[in-house]
């Protein structure tokens, strides 16, 4: 399974108009192709005004077919052209190949948190195994489904975790549960140490709120 995301930054000057366009374009995509696409905006995070379209697919071929369908649609292209005045370049795509997907992942959500990191040189096998353990431990402590995967493109060795929440209160409770749990702190400080590149620019954390 794959998790696709498209990140774009809204330009300033017409916030309501740009959000209305983004929501309309999301509905258009969902009518035209077989993917179930959601729209979120970054909150409490760098990149003010960033919006994210995301969807899961069983294969890269499914993503490619969806893209071909959209690119052949005059309605979709007209929507893209209309949105050009609302967006600040560049627009970036990302795809994670999901290696750990809990049974309760993929339901409705209001908030999500995403963490990206890069495997340290020579630690691919252990880093990927630890990535799964981190996701499992986070879910055991917080009760919230956490997926883990490796990046299909972008920075080589990229990995990522995504956790979803039904409310902002649930996100806050999960953060508090992790911060005060000895198993979590030991996992990050001792077991995971040295498995991921210690470079601030490539280790990032973002919070998203779903709007469509």
Residues 86, 127, single domain; the answer is no
Kindly state the helix (H) or strand (E) to which residue 51 belongs, with its residue range: strand 50-57
Kindly state the helix (H) or strand (E) to which residue 61 belongs, with its residue range: helix 60-71
Contact partners, residue 44, CB within 8 Å, separation at least 6: 207
pLDDT values of the chain reduced to their tens digit, one per residue, 212 residues: 999 999 999 999 899 999 999 999 999 999 999 999 999 999 999 999 999 999 999 999 999 999 999 999 999 999 999 999 999 999 999 999 999 999 999 889 999 999 999 999 999 999 999 999 999 999 999 999 999 999 999 999 999 999 999 999 999 999 999 999 999 999 999 999 999 998 888 899 999 999 99
Identify the CATH number of the domain in which residue 133 sits. 3.30.70.100
Number of domains in the chain: 2
Residues 122, 193, single domain; the answer is yes
CA 8/CA 5 separation, integer angstroms:
10
Task: Using a cut of 0.85, tell me whether the model's pTM lies above it.
Answer: yes
Residues 8, 86, single domain; the answer is yes
CA 162/CA 130 separation, integer angstroms:
15
Domain containing residue 143: 96-210
| Token code pair at residue 45 | 């995070």
Residues 89, 144, single domain; the answer is no
Residues 40, 76, single domain; the answer is yes
Residues 65, 148, single domain; the answer is no
């Amino acid at each position: 399974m794959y998790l696709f995301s498209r990140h774009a930054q809204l330009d300033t000057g017409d916030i309501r108009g740009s959000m209305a366009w983004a929501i309309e374009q999301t509905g258009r995509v969902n009518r035209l192709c077989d993917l179930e696409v959601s729209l979120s905006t970054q909150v409490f995070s760098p990149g003010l005004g960033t919006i994210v379209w995301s969807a899961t697919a069983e294969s890269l071929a499914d993503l490619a077919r969806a893209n071909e369908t959209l690119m052949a649609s005059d309605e979709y292209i007209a929507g893209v052209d209309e949105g050009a005045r609302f967006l600040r370049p560049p627009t970036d795509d990302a795809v994670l190949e999901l290696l750990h997907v809990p049974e309760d992942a993929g339901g409705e959500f209001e908030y999500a948190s995403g963490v990206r990191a890069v495997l340290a040189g020579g630690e691919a096998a252990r880093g990927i195994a630890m990535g799964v353990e981190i996701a499992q431990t986070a879910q055991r402590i917080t009760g919230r489904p956490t997926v883990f995967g490796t990046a299909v493109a972008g920075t080589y060795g990229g990995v990522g975790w995504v956790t979803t929440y039904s409310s902002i209160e649930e996100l806050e409770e999960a953060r508090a549960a992790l911060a005060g749990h000895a198993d979590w702190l030991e996992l990050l400080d001792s077991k995971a140490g040295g498995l991921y590149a210690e470079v601030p620019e490539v280790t990032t954390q973002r919070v998203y709120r779903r709007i469509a």
